[in-house]
Amino acid sequence: MNYSRSKGMGMTLFIVLLLTPIYWLLNMSFKTNQEILGGLTLWPQNFTLANYAVIFSDSSWYSGYINSMIYVSMNMTITLLVALPAAYAFSRYKFVGDKHLFFWLLSNRMAPPAVFLLPFFQLYSSIGLFDTHIAVALAHCLFNVPLAVWILEGFMSGVPREYDEMAYIDGYSFPKFFVKIFLPMIRSGIGVAAFFAFMFSWVELLLARTLTSVDAQPIGAIMTRTIGASGIDWGVLAAAGVLTIIPGVLVVWFVRNHIAKGFALGRV
Amino acid sequence: MNKVPNNRAWWLVLPVFILVAFSALIPLMTVVNYSVQDIFGPGNAYYVGTEWFKEVLNDERLQDSLLRQFAFSGAVLAIQIPLGISVALMMPKSGIKASLCLILLAIPLLIPWNVVGTIWQIFGRGDIGLFGWGLNALGLDYNYTGNTVDAWLTVLLMDVWHWTPLVALLCYSGLRAIPEAFYQAAEIDRASRWAVFRYIQLPRLKSVLVIAVLLRFMDSFMIYTEPFVLTGGGPGSSTTFLSQTLTTMAIGQFDIGRAAAFSLIYFLIVLLVSWLFFTAITHLDKEK
């Protein structure tokens, strides 16, 4: 089957429609508020970086990005550390209650965050973790760990167990085999799992906003501040939005060759 | 793969078990505890049994929001699955173009959900947004903050924009797994393009489609942030979905007992559907 011209046209059209709302945000972030409210212009007439300057010069703005970055990286680290051994166990061994455990883990990925809102708030308040980065990181484990286990299990099942047996014959201990031989073999799977942990932690706001107030507040919660007495500061809001898109684009660049397989949870 | 029975594997799953138990079981038990009590203050709670559940099941506001939720999730699946498959079929197969398409498609998935709401809030406005302005310029009376139908269409369009790429990426990876020989055989048989799709591509997409339907159903069933930012649930309560009703009840009105009972019913619906899908997936894995 050849790649035909009509398909190319259709694809281009879809991509253009997909990018138009994002272009509009980018366009607005370079305009002054007078221009935004003065009428519709397809590109900035008075190009300005003032909106970005507001964000980068005010610590209450840019600390939101730093907070988000901190809890996302914490979450990625925790998720991978606990999910790797568990995924290995699920892909290699039969044990008492394995199927039930797997489904129970999965069911947590399906739990609506709104259900856990109030109990989470009380749980983390009572152990003194409210408004810390680690609280958000742990809360996001609720849906990231099951997903990571599922993805990694898919990738690990693709490695024949003869490798494991060969390593034992060669005298490798289990930890040494796991770190030196097994992990390098599934490194694309690890990359994909890390990518998904990043993605779902980065985009989530409901839990992150509930569990923080000042010190660990994510950028998404800070963005609501642009609604002031004089109405919404559209320019700064657009600039803040654009800045939240950039990390995602950078990360997706690194996993571009594995992303499709990852979205299929390693099952294709 | 044939697995070896070994109960010591529990040691490997233990960290996950403890972590998820901490962040899922304890909160869930708290919810169960609340759902059977009427709480007036610290140390002033009464056991009320299943009263809250009865009340919640008969609450019209909740029934409405449940109906809206099913309508929304149904519409999301009906649009996104066929559209996602078509986009996947149109994608280039290899080379720099394919990489570029993958990256561009993935962008909406990586935007924080409140920013997705913000993007469409701006984009749909009649005065400063291209979309709203364009529709008004065409003579259509479009206003998503005032008109129920417009609000629904905007929320739906936003979700299609946001999540169709996920379905497309899933189907794309499924299509890549089909050996070229299948297509060559079809060409020798002079199969029509429709026949190729119906008898070669669609059957091989089955397992990824189950995952796509599962993920899309779950995530659309839990949707909160995007419509909250875009419409705030309005006009009236026309775009108030389950999560928002629940959040308002628990945090806004602090109606804990009712919210807890509602949470459990909500969770059970999701659990039931996810169990159905999970059974389907494991069944398909066995067939392979």
Q: What is the extent of the structural domain holding A39?
A: 1-48
Say what the pLDDT of residue B163 is.
Answer: 93
Residues of B with Cβ-Cβ distance to A109 under 8 angstroms: 218
Residue-averaged pLDDT of chain B = 84
Residues 243-282 (B) with a CB less than 8 A from some CB of A: 243-244, 246-247, 250-251, 256, 259-260, 263, 266-267, 270-271, 274-275, 278
Residues of A with Cβ-Cβ distance to B104 under 8 angstroms: 15, 18-19
Nearest to A10 among B6, B8, B90 (CB): B90
Higher-confidence residue of B187 and A225: namely B187
The residue extents of the domains of chain B are 63-287
Mean pLDDT for the stretch of residues B222-234: 83
What pLDDT, in 10s, does the model give residues B50-96? 778 888 788 888 888 888 998 999 999 999 999 999 999 998 887 78
- How many CB contacts within 8 angstroms connect chain A with chain B? 284
Q: How many CB atoms lie within 10 A of CB B145?
A: 17
Instruction: Burial-class residue A114 by CB neighbours within 10 Å (0-12, 13-18, 19+).
Output: buried
Q: Percentage of residues in chain A with pLDDT exceeding 70?
A: 93
> Is A81 a residue whose pLDDT tops 90?
yes
Mean pLDDT for the stretch of residues B179-206: 87
What pLDDT, in 10s, does the model give residues B167-184? 998 888 888 878 888 888
The token pair that represents A197 in the structure block: 């942990």
Q: Is residue A89 part of a domain?
A: yes
What pLDDT, in 10s, does the model give residues B110-134? 888 888 988 898 888 888 888 888 8
Residues of A with Cβ-Cβ distance to B224 under 8 angstroms: 113-114, 206
The token pair that represents A154 in the structure block: 């898919």
Q: Is residue A97 part of a domain?
A: yes
> Is B43 a residue whose pLDDT tops 80?
no
CATH classification (class only), B63-287: mainly alpha
Residues of A with Cβ-Cβ distance to B12 under 8 angstroms: 85-86, 88-89
Confidence tier at A75 by pLDDT (50, 70, 90): very high
Looking at this predicted complex, what is its ipTM?
0.83
Nearest 5°: CA angle at B272, between B269 and B31? 50
Which residues, other chains included, contact B263 with Cβ-Cβ below 8 Å and sequence gap of 6+? A114, A115, B31, B35, B246, B250
Residues of A with Cβ-Cβ distance to B42 under 8 angstroms: none
Nearest to A112 among B112, B118, B222 (CB): B222
Which residues, other chains included, contact B114 with Cβ-Cβ below 8 Å and sequence gap of 6+? A205, A220, A223, B225, B226, B229
> Please, are residues B179 and B123 in contact by the beta-carbon 8 Å criterion?
no
Same domain (yes/no): A204, A227: yes
Report the number of distinct structural domains present in chain A: 2
Mean pLDDT for the stretch of residues A125-136: 89
> Please, are residues A62 and A56 in contact by the beta-carbon 8 Å criterion?
yes
What pLDDT, in 10s, does the model give residues A96-113? 888 888 888 878 877 788
- Give the amino acid at B153: L
Spacing of C-alpha B21 from chain mean position:
24
Q: How many CB atoms lie within 10 A of CB B209?
A: 18
> Is B48 a residue whose pLDDT tops 80?
no
Can you tell me the distance from the alpha carbon of B183 to that of B192, in angstroms, rounded to the nearest whole number? 11
CB contact under 8 A, B222 and A92: no
What pLDDT, in 10s, does the model give residues A26-43? 988 898 888 877 777 788
Say what the pLDDT of residue A1 is.
Answer: 45
Confidence tier at A84 by pLDDT (50, 70, 90): very high
> How near does any CA of chain B get to the CA of A68, in Å?
11
For residue B115, the chain A residue with the least C-alpha distance is A241
Say what the pLDDT of residue A225 is.
Answer: 67
CB contact under 8 A, A268 and B208: yes
**What CATH number did the domain enclosing A242 receive?**
1.10.3720.10
Say what the pLDDT of residue A266 is.
Answer: 57
Say what the pLDDT of residue B257 is.
Answer: 82
Can you tell me the distance from the alpha carbon of A13 to that of B210, in angstroms, rounded to the nearest whole number? 27
Residues of A with Cβ-Cβ distance to B256 under 8 angstroms: 118
Phi-psi group of A133: left, alpha or beta (phi > 0 → left; psi -120 to 50 → alpha; rest → beta): alpha
Say what the pLDDT of residue A210 is.
Answer: 85
> Please, are residues B239 and B260 in contact by the beta-carbon 8 Å criterion?
no
Beta bridge partners of B4: A93
> Is A246 a residue whose pLDDT tops 70?
yes
Residues of A with Cβ-Cβ distance to B278 under 8 angstroms: 103, 106
Instruction: Of B117, B25, B144, B121, give the one whose Cα is nearest residue A206.
Output: B117
Chain A touched by B46 (CB under 8 Å) = no
Confidence tier at A227 by pLDDT (50, 70, 90): low
Say what the pLDDT of residue A78 is.
Answer: 94
Same domain (yes/no): A170, A68: yes
Residues 1-20 (B) with a CB less than 8 A from some CB of A: 1, 3-10, 12-13, 15-17, 19-20
What pLDDT, in 10s, does the model give residues B251-285? 777 778 888 888 888 888 888 887 787 787 777 76
Q: Is residue A126 part of a domain?
A: yes
- Eight-class DSSP state of A126: H
Q: State the DSSP string of B30-87.
A: HHHHHHTEEEEETTEEEE-TTHHHHHHHH-HHHHHHHHHHHHHHHHHHHHHHHHHHHH
User: Exposed e or buried b for every residue in B89-128, given b needs 16+ CB within 10 A?
Assistant: bbbbeeeeebeebbebbbbbbbbbbbbbbbbbbbbbbbeb
Q: State the DSSP string of B101-170.
A: HHHHHHGGGGS-HHHHHHHHHHHT-TTT-HHHHHHHHTT----TTT-HHHHHHHHHHHHHHHHHHHHHHH
Say what the pLDDT of residue A262 is.
Answer: 66
Chain A touched by B32 (CB under 8 Å) = no
Q: Percentage of residues in chain A with pLDDT exceeding 90?
A: 16
Q: Which helix (H) or strand (E) holds B25?
A: none
Interface test with B, best of A95, A144, A156 (most B CBs within 10 A): A95
Residues 48-77 (A) with a CB less than 8 A from some CB of B: none
CA B203, B204, B206, B209 dihedral sign is negative
